[in-house]
A and B are shown apart, each in its own frame.
Chain A
Amino acid sequence: MQSNAALEYDYSVAKLYTYTAILFGFVGMLIGTLIAAQLAFPELNYLFGEYGTFSRLRPLHTNVVIYGFTVSGIFATFYYAAQRVLKVSMAESKFIMFVGKLQFALYLIAATAMVVTELMGITQSKEYAQMEWPLDLLIVVIWVLWGVAMFGLIGIRREKALYISMWYFIACFLGVAMLYLFNNMAVPTYFTSGSLGSIMHSVSMYSGTNDALVQWWWGHNAVAFVFTVPIVGMIYYFLPKESGQAVYSYKLSLLSFWGLMFVYLWAGSHHLLWSTVPDWMQTMGSVFSVVLILPSWGSAINMLLTMKGEWNQLTENPLIKFMVLASTFYMLSTLEGPIQAIKSVNAIAHFTDWIPGHVHDGVLGWVAFMIMAGLFHMAPRMFKREIYSKKLVEAQFWIQTTAVVLYFTSMWIAGITQGMMWRAVDEYGNLMYSFIDTVTVLHPYYAIRALAGVLYVTGFAMFAYNMIKTMTSSRELSEEPQFRSPMA
């Protein structure tokens, strides 16, 4: 069965998801920039009538960047990398190819329906789980199809041992499946009321504090299994491939993977500190959040040490820059999170802009950097052309890095300022500030954050332009590059 002839991999599904990652990335970040600007300049709320208010657009922003951009990026890199680490081509099985394409078609329908329903305000109002039950069912089908494709490819693989990236893709598949199912348990009211009202409406199976627990068990671990696990899987594949270096330590990979799997789920209750959730759960969430530094830093350090002795590549290859900075931001974000999960710090940080600040140093600096670097690495191999412009990649890198720094520094200051003002009392013990004082004081920071958004989305437009040019008009390559991606 083994043959020495080079395998011809089939990237048709990976290409489709690359297109949607670019499209949804741009749209989602554009909406993000608009809502950031709305907080600084409220007149911008009235551009699109009732569909343009901050409140209506905010979940649209999060959903388009999570389920549009990030999930497309995950599927694109999966359909690219899984074939290569398993040493099997999608073209070898008509069935798996069909499943992959069907999954993409349904994904596109679900993503479009998501955008439409959220603009209309049809929502479960659970963060990152806004979609109503018919869409949830469609997503279950999409997810199962992904599982069929994944385990189908694994079933016909030639390389018997699963590479580290596959561990993370499998974990992403299982983790999201479990969490998504339980959090979205709901009863559609139409069927239980004798056909009354809207067919889209449902009520949650859980109430109050229970609903909060299940929701943040999901909310936190959606970050784990969408923004962390598959992205770590990506860097384990793309950094060694781009740099030509072997992964620094297998043992560290093991420790980080199993550590992350075991610890991450416990930390969900740190979103509910000082709430009506029992104290012991809050404490568990705090403690495990701090323990979480170990596996998170384990992966990041493993990646940085992979570059040992080859740091000159950092100056020569902008894709290495993206990936090294991504791991650095991952370290920053996974240190910041546990700090915020300490109960006394959380008392100040919770409900303030420090939280979106924390989220964005992770998603802008780590998730998006890694996905863009991955897609850049894939482009010359999928389209058999060199990357259109190295200068553009370099410029994009610096513009976006500046944007991330502006974003999180302004939100740190804003968050801590607000948290301190809420609790400030005068010499007689009376509250010093009315609520609106703590809003107006944030104006300059909101303006800086909006500027950061403009810079970041500009960088993303440069990425999109560079990718499109690479696909269509860049110089053709006669053979597949070994390691470093060629760029003009």
Chain B
Amino acid sequence: MFHWLEKRPFFFAVGVFVVIAFAGLIEILPNFAEASRPVEGLRPYTVLELAGKEVYKKDNCIACHSQLIRPFKAETDRYGQYSLSGEYAYDRPFLWGSKRTGPDLHRVGNYRTTDWHENHMWEPTSVVPGSIMPAYKHQFKNIADLETAYAEAVTVKNVFNVPYGDDIKPGKAAWEAYKPKVLAEAKKIAADMKNKDVKDAVAAGKVPEVVALIAYLNSLGSSRYEAKK
């Protein structure tokens, strides 16, 4: 049979394809519907938080930080409740990472504050002596791309039925109408910060990357769960 195949490239290629595709069909497909359901009470990310997630991706925090707490006592003691599948339902892409050069961040919002993050992003060793993390001072100057974040919210709402309100809809006019809400959220974060350039920029309607990033980091943890009625 193998001699026969080796003289017939077409059937050889078909054979290889069937053999390699097999595993994916059996291992990946059956779980698809199950794993994408959100846990009860989980709200989607706000537009500002989505913009922060883009900063997290852009500066590639996953190179050193995971967002996956494994079910071991040493991990739950250090980071809190182990991670559940439904908590990631609105994460596109997933940001679990594969390397912990720094600590896990899946529940960082529960035990770090805006103030702490501001100090840390400006100069990590000021709050964690011995840290080898680089300072991310450019995030205090670069302006976050809120419009793209809004476009993402519109997309996941319309394509994947993520439960956003009726005010998230396509088009320039809808975005202009929505923008004040994002700025109001950014102002709340900036109020807890001390960097003058950041405060001035937010007051002028421009949101520096660090503000969006902090909004995102604060959302990692319990604050994305609506209180039980």
Contacts and interface: CB of A to CB of B under 8 A. Distances in A.
A212 interface: yes
A71 interface: no
B134 A160 contact: no
B220 to A, nearest CB: 14
Given A217-B28, A351-B99, A124 B77 contact: no
Contacts of A197: 145, 147-152
B214 to A, nearest CB: 17
A278 B31 contact: yes
B12 A162 contact: yes
A351 B98 contact: yes
A483 interface: no
A206 B92 CA distance: 7
A154 interface: yes
A49 B138 contact: yes
A436 B19 contact: no
Given A162-B9, A189-B155, A355-B99, A39 B132 contact: yes
Interface stretch (A166-174, A296-304, A383-391): A166-174
A12 interface: no
Contacts of B99: 351-353, 355-356
Nearest to B23: A265
Contacts of A154: 9
Contacts of B87: 208
Interface in B25-46: 27-28, 31-32, 35-36
Contacts of A123: 57-58, 60
A269 B26 CA distance: 12
Contact of A196 (B101, B132, B147, B156): B147
Chain A interface mostly helix, strand, loop or mixed? Answer: helix
B117 to A, nearest CB: 16
Contact of A261 (B2, B16, B92, B133): B16
Interface in A324-383: 347, 350-353, 355-356
B141 to A, nearest CB: 9
A54 B63 contact: yes
Nearest to B77: A431
B23 A125 contact: no
Nearest to A41: B132
A262 B19 contact: yes
Contacts of A25: none
Contacts of B98: 127, 271, 350-351, 355
Given A50-B138, A193-B151, A275-B70, A125 B95 contact: yes
B203 interface: no
B155 A126 contact: no
Contacts of B94: 207-209, 211-212, 215
Contacts of A144: none
B122 interface: no
Given A209-B35, A211-B91, A266 B27 contact: yes
A56 B150 CA distance: 24
Given A50-B136, A192-B154, A201-B152, 8 more contacts: A187-B155, A203-B155, A207-B90, A207-B92, A266-B27, A278-B35, A423-B72, A431-B78
Closest 7 CB pairs of A and B: A208-B88, A197-B148, A194-B170, A121-B58, A265-B23, A45-B134, A193-B151
Interface of B: 2-3, 6-7, 9, 12-13, 16-17, 19-24, 27-28, 31-32, 35-36, 54, 56-64, 66, 68, 70-72, 74-75, 77-78, 83-103, 128-136, 138, 142, 145, 147-152, 154-156, 158-160, 170-172, 174-175
5 contacts: A161-B7, A182-B24, A208-B94, A262-B22, A352-B100
